[in-house]
Amino acid sequence: MKRARVLLPLGVLLGWLLCALLANVLPLSPNAIDLAQGFAPPEAAHWLGTDELGRSIAARVVSGARVSCGVGVAVMLLSLGIGVGIGVLAALAGGWVDACCSRLIDIFMAFPGILLAIALAGVLGPGLNNVVLALCAVSWVGFARLARAQTLAVKARDHVLAARALGSPPRFVVTRHVLPLIAAPLLVEASFVLAGAVVAEAGLSFLGLGAQPPLASWGSMIRQAMQFLLVAPHMLIGPCLALVSLVLASNLLGDHLRQLRQRTGDRA
């Protein structure tokens, strides 16, 4: 039972990642138009039915995983890099560097993230690269704040002091003595950022600011489905289930990692 609570979300997450990696290799045709088959309800040939152009929704959901996972992972890694860089730098440098970075973090924290992302994506113009850029601009702050606080705590520990006293170069101190100790909370944050980025990408695509047609994205598919809510409600099922399963898996995994950390933290 306990194992299932980890393995199930992990399986779902890996499953979608696999879909994302294999979407271009699998014999799917997410953009094949067949007007005669338009609005077909779910059946054997089309598991999730077809959309208004007769395209298979199942095929589009699988290839939509490419957009969701791609954007999610890219945003997670980029903002992790930027955020941890700034946070660790601020904590270790101290003084005016810390003051500047902290104010910058404060200002970014004062924005409702999704609104900033929407405005940025709108100004930069539609397209997935701009979506990644806009979401990174929002997501790095959480990592930076966390990394700064954690580094401040670790910095005062004896082994870091000893390493610095022995004359280890700062880069060595960071990579060998600081980063390994602050990795666990960052990992927890990363899983939530992944979930958040997947939702935000779908949201931007839903608003028409992300993936552009004919590229399949779960968000733009939901937008399409809403236009035909009265005619073909089945169009909503596929992309909604896909999105919720991926986000749920990511959130559950994050929760589990956090609990695990709290438990080991208590023992230490």
Partner 1 sequence: MTFRYGAGHVLVFTHLPLMLKSLLSRFVLALAVALGVATLVFLLMHLTPGDPVEAMLGESASGADRAALRTALGLDAPLPAQWWRFVSGLATGDLGRSIGAQQTVATLIAERLPNTVVLALAALAIAITLALPLGLLSALRLGGVWDRATSVFAVLGMSLPSFVLGPLLMMVFAVWLGWLPVSGSERAIGLVLPAVTLGLALAAPLSRMVRAAVAEVLNEEFICAAYARGLSAQQVLWRHALRNAALPVLTIIGMQLGALLGGAVVTEMVFGWAGLGQLTLEAIQRRDYPLVQGCVLVVSLGYVGVNLLTDAVYGLVDPRVARR
Q: According to the binding rule CB under 8 A, does residue 4 interact with partner 1? A: no
Q: How far is the CB of 193 from partner 1 (least distance, A)?
A: 13
Phi-psi label, residue 211: left if phi above 0, alpha if psi -120 to 50, beta otherwise: beta
Contact in structure between 198 and 243 (CB atoms under 8 Å): yes
Long-range contacts of 217-221, Cβ-Cβ distance < 8 Å, separation of 24 or more? 217/64, 217/67, 217/68, 218/61, 218/64, 218/67, 218/68, 218/242, 218/243, 219/243, 221/51, 221/57, 221/60, 221/61, 221/64
Q: According to the binding rule CB under 8 A, does residue 21 interact with partner 1? A: no
Size of the site for partner 1 (CB under 8 A): 43
Q: How far is the CB of 148 from partner 1 (least distance, A)?
A: 17
- Cβ nearer to partner 1, comparing 46 with 234: 234
124, 149, 181, 187: which one contacts partner 1 (CB under 8 A)? 124
40, 71, 225, 257: which one contacts partner 1 (CB under 8 A)? 225
Options 73-81, 123-131, 174-182, 260-268: segment touching partner 1 (CB under 8 A): 123-131
Q: According to the binding rule CB under 8 A, does residue 122 interact with partner 1? A: yes
Q: According to the binding rule CB under 8 A, does residue 125 interact with partner 1? A: yes
- Cβ nearer to partner 1, comparing 64 with 160: 64
* Measured CA angle at 77 (ends 71, 80), to 5 deg: 130
Q: According to the binding rule CB under 8 A, does residue 113 interact with partner 1? A: yes
Q: According to the binding rule CB under 8 A, does residue 203 interact with partner 1? A: yes
Q: According to the binding rule CB under 8 A, does residue 118 interact with partner 1? A: yes
Structure tokens at 258: 């956090």
